[in-house]
Structure 1
Amino acid sequence: MIGDSDIDTVRAMLRAFTSIDERQGGRHGRSAVVQYLRSDVADIVHGRFAKESLRADALTAAASVSFLAGWKAYDAGEHGLAQRYYLQTLALTREAGNPLHTAWVLRIMAHNGMDIQCPEHTLDLADAALSLATGRAAPGMLSVFVVCRARALANARRGPEAVAEIRRAQDLATRGEDEVMPYWTALHGPPRASVGSHAAKTFRTLRDHRNAERQYAIAGRGYSSHDTGLHRITALSLASQGGEQAAQGHLEQACGTWGQALGYFEGVYSDRAVKQIASIRRQLAVFDRRGVGAAAELDERARSWQLTYA
């Protein structure tokens, strides 16, 4: 017989695993998360429940752990495996009768498609997620669905609509700053930081480097101030911000931002981090030939990171 204490334990383990993932990356501790999902979490889902609401809570908690397993696979560069976990998560949220959680998973599937340069169905996914969230999500949470749609619109070459959706998402995020989020979303940082991150990616798709830089800066500040210490996403935001500065010809400024990113990347085992550091080093080689003084020292730090974590 499964009770509240069993479900609370899964939530506590989820918080612990997510904190480790955000600090040390998706390649660290993957087997522990998968084993926990296959053993303890599976046993709880297949248990007996005194009332239907407990079963729904158990399924929601199981979906959250499955989501984390997918997220870790994605961060480790195993995108097919990540998709399978997301589909499993989707089925669990539907079985739990939690349409807002279902929307959350559809949203991440849309972002995943855009991240791996397979955007063909991402606007449909973003639209479906936003449709489910509308009327159910408070303003702060709704903002992350709206900015997802903005990014999908940019990939569909509908720039003016994308910019309008960014503005709507920013307004919603501001209105929802003091909002209490469901536990399965609160673990991943404040909505305003997420809106900044995806607005930046939208502007980058539109080749608006100035606005992309500004939004990455907002994201970096939001993630770094989160009380659980979101090192990986802070580092990724700063690395991307430096890339946008470099695209505008602000080479010294880019080196300074990348130096901050490298500090946050310490201890992070992540395929995304590996790719960002490789990209930084390629750009630093050009900077060094142009006589940018900070480039050589920064490149040595990046090379040292690769030797340790790549």
Structure 2
Amino acid sequence: MIKTSGLSYAALAQAVNRLGYLAGKTLNYSKSAVSRWIAGEQPRNPVPELLLEVFRKKLGREFTYRDLGFDIAEADIEIRSLWYSDLSTTLDVAPLMWSHDVFRRDLLKSSAVAVGAMTAPARNFLPFEPDRCRSRTGSIPVSLGDVKMIREVAHQYWRWDSKYGGGRFREQLVYFLHSHVAPLLGGRYGEKVGCGLFSAAGEATMFAGWMAYDMASLGLAQRYYTQALRMAQAAGDRQLGGEILTCMAYVANSAGAPDDAIQLCEYALDITKGRVPPRVQSYIYSVLSRCLASAPSSPRNRPAALTALNAAERHFARPLDGSENAWVAGIDFRGLQTQAAHVLSELGMTGRAHEAISVALDGRDESHRRAVAFCKLYLGMVHVKEDDAEAAVAAGDEVLNLLPGLETARVQQGLARLQREINSLGDTDPIRTFNERARTLGDRS
């Protein structure tokens, strides 16, 4: 196989090291290691999976461990789930990922973010070319009714995520993917049903990725988004693809890679421009604004963040046309203003931030508890910037009131940040009381 690929031993070792870096692994193999592998030594994980990927890219077809001469029964799903492969491979990898997430949860939950691989799926997604053959000949018949069922179940979990946080029901959604969606993907269906099936499965996978992100499992979220993006391409669903790329930007931003986050949003805008409803473009612009505001090192980012926010509001003002995904259509003006509140708070524009927070909170009910918690966090940060310790503590107390029953690591992280900022304002009785209450609630959770 090495001879067929045209790779020297040194070049193969370099290719493995490079792919390892993209997958978040530090490797330093040389041509002597390749010689040992050829002599019969079986390399340790993740090398076998990396070798498969090297030869797949070089020779343009799939290979197995047996083709490499390795006696390995199970794929290294932590590595394989990062690759953006052909559709048949994705239909093997995604169900295997779900299965591992159900039965060997800690293996994937602790997966590190592969910063080097952050934008690679997006580059494979562009130029956008849907798969031509989406039919399958499995034993289980699949209908459009099954597609509708997947969407309805996934959207219910999405609603619960908004109310209770990503940690409350993520395991149940993943089990649904494993027990119900995986058998359908391997079933029997034609082109029309296949197109809908891949779109619905991709959306449900995206939701599971979002819940992982909400619980600060960034590496796990990255892997879910990568597989979801491949399904979106198979479905020919630009709208879903743009939404997934935008979700990936959240992960990149949280992983300390703001430039990658900005690039992912720009990819999302490129793939959706003029081809999706304006509400989708509004969502992408709002996240782009957020990422720009989080990367203040470039003097151009501040005005660019405001420009993106204005574009989000401009696109939002255009009417819905009925072709939006249900969850995007459900992002109302208050949701947009929640994003605006974060951006304006980060930029220190306290007056406008107060206005955005007021709109974002107006009429919010229990179904959006996490969004309310974030608004209160942003409000607290604005008060800190105004040196108003009493008001900042009051906002923090309101966040603490929302914590029982809300399982979201992002809110916990935001609260810890707010607490640090409040403590920088002094050592008063209200601040000490707030710290004690935060500690007590943190111990309970």
TM-score scaled by length of structure 1: 0.86
For 1:22-61, list aligned pairs within 5 A. 22-49=162-189, 51-61=190-200
Q: Which runs of 5+ in 2 are unaligned?
A: 1-140
In 1, Cα distance between equivalents of 2:261 and 2:193: 33
Give 3-state SS (helix, strand or coil) of 1:37's partner. Answer: helix
Give 3-state SS (helix, strand or coil) of 2:400's partner. Answer: helix
Note the alpha carbon deviations across 1:149-173, whole angstroms, 9 max, x for none.
3334443542223212212221222
Residue type of the alignment partner of 1:182: N
**TM-aligned CA distance change 1:193 to 1:117, over 3 Å:** farther
Alignment RMSD: 2.6
Q: CA deviation at 1:106?
A: 0.8
The answer to whether 1:192 aligns with 2:333 is yes
Note the alpha carbon deviations across 1:77-136, whole angstroms, 9 max, x for none.
111111011101100100111011101111111122123321122222111111222212
**TM-aligned CA distance change 1:149 to 1:21, over 3 Å:** closer
Q: Which moved more, 1:122-131 or 1:212-221?
A: 212-221
Note the alpha carbon deviations across 1:52-95, whole angstroms, 9 max, x for none.
22211111111111112211211111111110111011001001
For 1:109-148, list aligned pairs within 5 A. 109-148=248-287
In 1, Cα distance between equivalents of 2:346 and 2:358: 17
Q: Which has the higher helix share?
A: 1
Matching residue within 80, 93, 100 for 2:219? 80
- Do the aligned residues in 2 keep the contact of 1:144 with 1:191 (CA within 8 Å)? no
Higher-Rg member (1/2): 2
Residue type of the alignment partner of 2:280: M
- Do the aligned residues in 2 keep the contact of 1:110 with 1:123 (CA within 8 Å)? yes
For 1:142-181, list aligned pairs within 5 A. 142-154=281-293, 155=295, 156-158=298-300, 159-176=302-319, 181=324
Q: CA deviation at 1:284?
A: 4.5
Equivalent residue number for residue 153 of structure 2: 13
Q: CA deviation at 1:229?
A: 0.3
The answer to whether 1:66 aligns with 2:205 is yes
In 2, Cα distance between equivalents of 1:2 and 1:184: 24
Q: Which runs of 5+ in 1 are unaligned?
A: none
Equivalent residue number for residue 219 of structure 1: 360
Matching residue within 206, 218, 231 for 2:347? 206
Equivalent residue number for residue 91 of structure 2: none
Residue identity (%): 25
- Do the aligned residues in 2 keep the contact of 1:277 with 1:306 (CA within 8 Å)? no
**TM-aligned CA distance change 1:178 to 1:119, over 3 Å:** same
Equivalent residue number for residue 265 of structure 1: 403
**TM-aligned CA distance change 1:230 to 1:178, over 3 Å:** farther
User: Which one has more relative contact order, counting CA pairs under 8 Å at least 6 apart?
Assistant: 1
TM-score scaled by length of structure 2: 0.62
Residue type of the alignment partner of 1:305: L
- Do the aligned residues in 2 keep the contact of 1:141 with 1:191 (CA within 8 Å)? no
Residue type of the alignment partner of 1:265: L
- Do the aligned residues in 1 keep the contact of 2:384 with 2:422 (CA within 8 Å)? no
**TM-aligned CA distance change 1:124 to 1:108, over 3 Å:** same
**TM-aligned CA distance change 1:166 to 1:273, over 3 Å:** closer
- Do the aligned residues in 1 keep the contact of 2:213 with 2:221 (CA within 8 Å)? yes
Equivalent residue number for residue 241 of structure 2: 102
In 2, Cα distance between equivalents of 1:34 and 1:245: 39
The answer to whether 1:230 aligns with 2:368 is yes
Aligned length: 301
